[in-house]
Amino acid sequence: MCGILAIYRYYGDMDAFRQKALDMSKRLRHRGPDWSGCEVRGQSILCHERLAIVGVDTGAQPITSHDDSILLTVNGEIYNHKDLERSLKTPGPFKTHSDCEVILHLYKEQGVDAVKQLDGMFSFVLLDTKTDRLIAARDPIGITTLYRGYNSQHPETVYFASELKALNEECDRIEAFPPGHVYDSLTGETTRYFNPQWFDPKVIPTTPIDYPALRHALVKAVRKRLMSEVPYGVLLSGGLDSSLISSIAVREARKIALEEGSDYDDNVDTSASRAWPRLHSFSIGLPGSPDLVAAVEVAKFLKTIHHSYTFTLQEGHDALADVIYHLETYDVTTVRASTPMYLLSRKIKAMGVKMVLSGEGSDEVFGGYLYFHYAPSAPELHQETLTRVKNLHTSDCLRANKSTMAWGLESRVPFLDREFLDTAMSIDPQYKMCDKEHMEKYIVRRAFDPEQLRLDGESDTSAYLPPEILWRQKEQFSDGVGYSWIDSLRDLAERKVTDAEFAQRTQRWPTDTPSTKEAYYYRHLFELSFPQPACTESVVRWIPRTDWGCSDDPSGRAQKIHESAYKA
């Protein structure tokens, strides 16, 4: 991933504004420390801060067409770029080896509809200088981050950036660009291009569970994401999701390294993975935390090169202000989980690793959070999973993207693959319901159980994971790094926020008023970096399903079903 900035139809002197735009783009350089680019055409400017993963030698951006009439700045990865290149009707000369340049050529043939062909995670801005047309788009789920801003004194100018910190001093209105949408300056409209059948909340899926289809879809999703020309690894918490992704990655990397081929080959670019067949895994936690213990067990089973790190409560507390600055949110759940991930990402980048696979999305897709045990019915469970998937860009995707990109580390999330989502979100939700015999995420656990592999006639029925990991209870990341982590945050907030200050919270923040001292403290830290109202308006907080009888605390330990639940 990278950092992008674009300003369309700027109202002032472009020569004078160029340095200002460079300064704005510089605020994104943590996302792309490898190179910087800037192109000005008329009253528009495109900037790029590059993190080189694919096409390392020639992929500098903004990318320009052969006749210099089209400019493109992209944040992300296009996994099917090789297949798309072969599909071009009139393939023009490619100037780079980047997986992103194909977007420019697709636009020449298909216009704004080109975005529908892309399989990957991406945010991009394309400028066609012949027609003064600007196209901006974001991937279907919002794995990558993108913001759009305006200055009310000059409404004709539109700003785009990977993070709002690049826009907050120039714009008095900033919004998260909606995932699965494309903006076209010719019409001035932002329209949805991603609209699969399962996206309709009124339609409750009825497809029976097909374990081979579910398994093959996830394996294919992981294989796509091994596209890399730099060292890569996996974030391994020891929970089901990250462990399963790690196991699949080990198997697929081995196949690619041995050039044995695979049943899941679909013309995606995986050739570069042969350079990195031995997988590195990374975990973090407080000393003796549940995740660290489980991660070591998984790493030994998978034979990864494992790196286990610890942090202290004080180190976590000291990082909070920086974490919130990079996250650009004050949501309690996100801040809690992001801090260990932020600390771990710095360690990983220091080792020279630039890309990791991660397990985000599984809990939303399969109803894996412990509060799903209280779902009143299968249709209501499905509607809640759908809501959570649609809002991932405000929570887990935001966390995974910004916590890692704070140090120029790219995270890839196989559970949010388009094809995998089509399979998993179309399953009858009765198979996702929890009961005494079926724990949370039962069907994905069962799909990779050796007994099911034998029933499905798989040629390789060896275990993907040890049974105690495959069937381990859901542990939210902010809990799994050590139960005292969340307790310490509450205690810290109690010391930092006085009773008098908390009593005046409604007067200070009449909108989106914090309900706890911990939430108050994060809101305070957020406004130290982002005092502008436009920044606050872009924040979305997750609200627990108290109407299901759940605790209003987002921690998994707050749910009665948790083995180490808070005691009444």
The pairing of strands 232-235 and 355-357 is: parallel
Give me 399's structure tokens.
């966390």
Do 174 and 535 form a contact (C-beta atoms < 8 A)? yes
Q: Phi-psi region for residue 88, left (φ > 0), alpha (ψ -120 to 50) or beta?
A: beta
- Measured from the Cβ of residue 153, the count of other Cβ atoms closer than 10 Å reads 8
Give me 146's structure tokens.
């993108």
Whether a cis peptide bond, with omega within 30° of 0, leads into 340 is no
Q: Which residues are annotated as a binding site for ATP?
A: 235, 284, 358-359
Q: Could you give the CA distance from residue 50 to residue 542 in angstroms, rounded to a whole number? A: 31
Give me 117's structure tokens.
């062909």
> What are the residues facing 284 on neighbouring strands?
309
Q: Which residues are annotated as a binding site?
A: 99, 235, 284, 358-359
Q: Could you give the CA distance from residue 356 to residue 244 in angstroms, rounded to a whole number? A: 14
Task: Mark whether 550 is an active-site residue.
Answer: no
Query: Measured between alpha carbons, how far is residue 37 from residues 23, 50, 54, 321 in Å?
Result: 12, 8, 17, 29
Q: Which residues are annotated as a binding site for L-glutamine?
A: 99
CA proximity to 561, closest of 378, 429, 439, 444: 439
Q: Could you give the CA distance from residue 558 to residue 551 in angstroms, rounded to a whole number? A: 6
Q: Could you give the CA distance from residue 167 to residue 175 in angstroms, rounded to a whole number? A: 10
Give me 178's structure tokens.
């909606």
- Among the listed residues 2, 100, 397, 550, the single catalytic one is 2
Q: Could you give the CA distance from residue 520 to residue 497 in angstroms, rounded to a whole number? A: 8
Do 94 and 101 form a contact (C-beta atoms < 8 A)? yes
H helices present in 69-204, as ranges:
81-87, 102-110
Q: Which residues of 28-55 are buried (b: 16+ CB within 10 A; e: fewer)?
A: bebbbbbebbbbbbebbbbbbbbbbbbb
Q: Please give the positions annotated as active site.
A: 2
